[in-house]
Amino acid sequence: MAKITVAVVGASGETGQSIVDGLLNSPDAEFDITAITRPQSLNKLANAKLRERGVKVVPADLNGPQDKLISLLSNIDIVVSAIFYRSLADEIPLANAAKAAGVKRFVPSAFMIIVPPRGVVDFRAKKEDNLNYIQMLRLPYTYIDAGWWYQLSLPRLPSGRFDDALPPGMPDFPIGLDGNVPSALADIRDIGRYVARIITDPRTLNKRVHVYNEVYTQNQIHDTVEKLTGESLPRSYISEEDAISRIDNARKELNSAPENPKAIDILTPHQLFYSRSIRGDNTPEYANYLGYLNGKELYPDFQFIKFEDYVKEVLDGRAKGVYQDKK
């Protein structure tokens, strides 16, 4: 069987690394991977590590001349975008080039929790705008959402034993409402494995797909951590009114400095928390309502990492945290 050629944009990011891992280690298909990177990032350590693993690393300015980008994609079967949410506008010229080059499937940068397409999380609307543009081009696509990461779900332990695994700079959020709002979770290491299955599956072409590992409430997360660590966790709860107030305050700060990325990075976590922990959007049931294909039904044989096992890995010092390069 011929290799499937895949171009990954954002391959050095957290999601991109998982996707590359999933493609390289796929038991079901053989992939020839090209990582498209910004010219100024070509010589970064992350790209050197990709080359060591047999990934071709190619510089490209997504907002540069279209003919160069079209040429780069001319022999590519599938484009997977893991572009950072503040750079979503760059997907438009990428989609144009993919269409002109005859790419067979375009996977836009989604890979997040289930959220209403508009009105709750600002950057989710931008993702929907991009998908709408892709559909206007009649470019074959698959839109994949993949749960809230285990790596972002751990509460802080009084002893500090989890500190090395917690993402730096991420605020400690309280528990939403009574703590019994369910949310679909996934280990980031499984996301790439899901992607490798999805992008070779004809059933997922021109569809939205929802994959996740397990569904937990915040109380269940805390209960699990207490059981496995023997530590008692303090639990503070927040009402819907107070959660909305935090969003309003963050938006005021953003409106006063709209070009400040720090202001955007303050608003976004509050909106995501409100969606998954107050509104309860991030569930398989809501994904089904929105028309997503269910990964559990598509791939009942998928062996995923369980949340309890991830917590044990953290306690044993075997689990790598996300965004550790931000320390």
Active site residues: 127
Residues of the chain with pLDDT under 50: none
Phi, psi of 273 (to 5 degrees): -60, -45
Closest CA to 262 of 173, 169, 324, 174: 169
pLDDT for 2 equals 80
pLDDT for 232 equals 98
Alpha carbon distance 257, 251 (integer Å): 10
pLDDT for 78 equals 99
pLDDT for 326 equals 67
Residue with structure tokens 């569930």? 283
pLDDT for 327 equals 58
pLDDT for 1 equals 64
pLDDT for 80 equals 99
pLDDT for 45 equals 93
Phi, psi of 202 (to 5 degrees): -65, -20
Q: List, as own/partner pairs, every contact residues 221-227 make where C-beta atoms lie below 8 angstroms and the sequence separation is at least 24, other chains included.
A: 221/153, 221/154, 221/155, 221/307, 222/155, 222/175, 222/179, 224/307, 224/308, 224/311, 225/154, 225/155, 225/157, 225/311
pTM score, whole prediction: 0.96
**Could you please report the per-residue DSSP string of 117-139?**
SSSS-HHHHHHHHHHHHHHHHT-
Pairing of strands 142-145, 105-107: unpaired
pLDDT for 66 equals 97
pLDDT for 259 equals 83
Q: Which domains does the chain have, with CATH numbers?
A: 4-146+186-211+283-303 (3.40.50.720)
pLDDT for 274 equals 99
Type and span of the H or E element at 6: strand 4-9
pLDDT for 49 equals 96
